[in-house]
Structure 1
Amino acid sequence: MRHLFGGCPCCDGQGVTRRGFIAAAVGGAAAAIASPALAQNGEPRVLRVRRQVVGDTFSGVYWRDGRYDREALRQLDTVFRDLSAAELTPMDPRLFDVMSAVARALDSDETYEVVSGYRTPETNARNAGRSRRVSTVSLHMSGMAADCRLPGRQGLGLARVASELQLGGVGLYTRDGFVHLDCGPVRRW
């Protein structure tokens, strides 16, 4: 699989490997510590997510004492899996950092509703065939993106705060009622 946004830090060009995932997690941790938006004075990072349709949830700490919690990441991988293909991949933990930072900036302890997380290339191609708003080089295929919402929050406000943090890509889909967040290059649409 070829990644056009500067390469997926989790992939070796052929697909996700455990070694690539670990390297990305270490690199993501270093980047997160260096980023003022993610700095929490060493406090644990928390995320609350609920997968729309199936209701799978995760609520808890996924990063503490300077490292990601492997079991928490496995649970998050399950929540963010491709539902139509019944397939999961190791998600890029920097995505969770973005989501956590946005919730913290909003002073929200609400649970994100996840509309879409990981997508297999086949699922993404099918979605792109139905809508030109779906990118054929989507970061969803690299486990680096999520379409989500925070109940009780306007999508515009969520997107605005995420854009101000400049931690990755932010897309506002008002008609569909969700915001796209990713840990790729900073951009918005």
Structure 2
Amino acid sequence: MLGLFNRHGGACPCCEPEMAGRRQILKAGIGVLAGTALLSESAVAASLPPVRRLNAQRFSTEDSFDGVYFSDGKYDREALRKLDWVFRDLSAAEVTPMDPRLFDVLSSVAARLETNETFSIMSGYRTPEHNANNARRSRAVSTVSLHMSGMAADFRLQGRDGYGVARTAAQMQMGGVGYYRQGFVHLDCGPPRRW
């Protein structure tokens, strides 16, 4: 392990299978995590800027969003619909409402890094069928991935080292953060954790 992350990859507790012993630990700690998540969620909401923007483009398509998605104390529904399209499951051509807290996490990380560079989205929402197909092909895919709930994204941030982005996000304690040896980062709006 180097610092907060293993530079050679690692298992995502939400997107990769749980190890047998971890299942019991996770079940025992779920109550504690739920309480912590509620406390940290209100603290995160209080620390977010009054105007939030995001610059995201789907890695393998021309679909993109670059603009404000939250202002005047509320989310812009049209902006969220556009973001949902960018983060859709490409394999199933299915769009779902993403959890807007995911966009808050991405926007906050960009603000902390003082960048307006594009998040190149490799994976956002995944249908349960798509996820199940992946799980049948690889033991490295979890059957309970936060991608299926519209709460996670895998990406590269243009002009930035993935390891540095992941370290910054982990320090912010806004959700799950993973770094993979292929150079991409996983962020989600679940409980703060890292791998």
Q: Same fold (TM over 0.5)?
A: yes
User: CA 1:115–1:93 in structure 2 vs 1: closer, same or farther (change >3 Å)?
Assistant: same
Equivalent residue, structure 1, for 2:138: 131
Alignment check: 8 A CA contact 1:32 1:94 kept: no
- CA drift of 1:126 comes to 1.8
- Structure 2 equivalent of residue 66 of structure 1: 73
Equivalences for residues 140-151 of structure 1 within 5 A? 140-151=147-158
1:31 Cα deviation from its structure 2 partner: 6.1
Higher RCO structure (Cα 8 Å, ≥6 apart): 2
User: Which stretches in structure 2 are left out of the alignment for 5+ residues?
Assistant: 1-25, 31-40
Separation in 2, partners of 1:127, 1:75 = 26
Question: Highest CA radius of gyration, 1 or 2?
Answer: 2
Offset at residue 173 of structure 1 (A): 0.9
Larger mean CA deviation between 130-139 and 143-152 belongs to 130-139
- Following superposition, the deviation at residue 30 of structure 1 comes to 6.2
The structure-2 alpha-carbon separation of the partners of 1:31 and 1:84, relative to structure 1 and needing over 3 Å to count, comes to farther
Tell me the amino acid that sits aligned with residue 45 of structure 2. I
Contact 2:44/2:174 (8 A) holds in 1: no
Which among 99, 102, 105 is matched to residue 92 of structure 1?
99
Count matched residues.
Answer: 158
Task: Describe how 1:35-184 pairs up with structure 2 within 5 A.
Answer: 36=47, 38=48, 40=49, 42=50, 44-175=51-182, 177-184=183-190
Q: Is the 8 A contact 1:57 1:79 kept in 2?
A: yes
Runs of 4 or more consecutive aligned structure 1 residues displaced over 4 Å after TM superposition: 29-32
The alignment status of 1:33 with 2:45, answered yes or no, reads yes
Q: Secondary structure at the match of 1:76?
A: helix
Q: Given the two structures, how large is their TM-score scaled by the length of structure 2?
A: 0.76
Unaligned runs of 5+ in 1: 7-28
Output the aligned Cα RMSD: 1.8
The percentage of counterpart residues that share the same residue type is: 65
How much has 1:151 moved relative to structure 2?
1.3
Q: Give the TM-score, by structure 1 length.
A: 0.78
Corresponding residue of 1:21: none
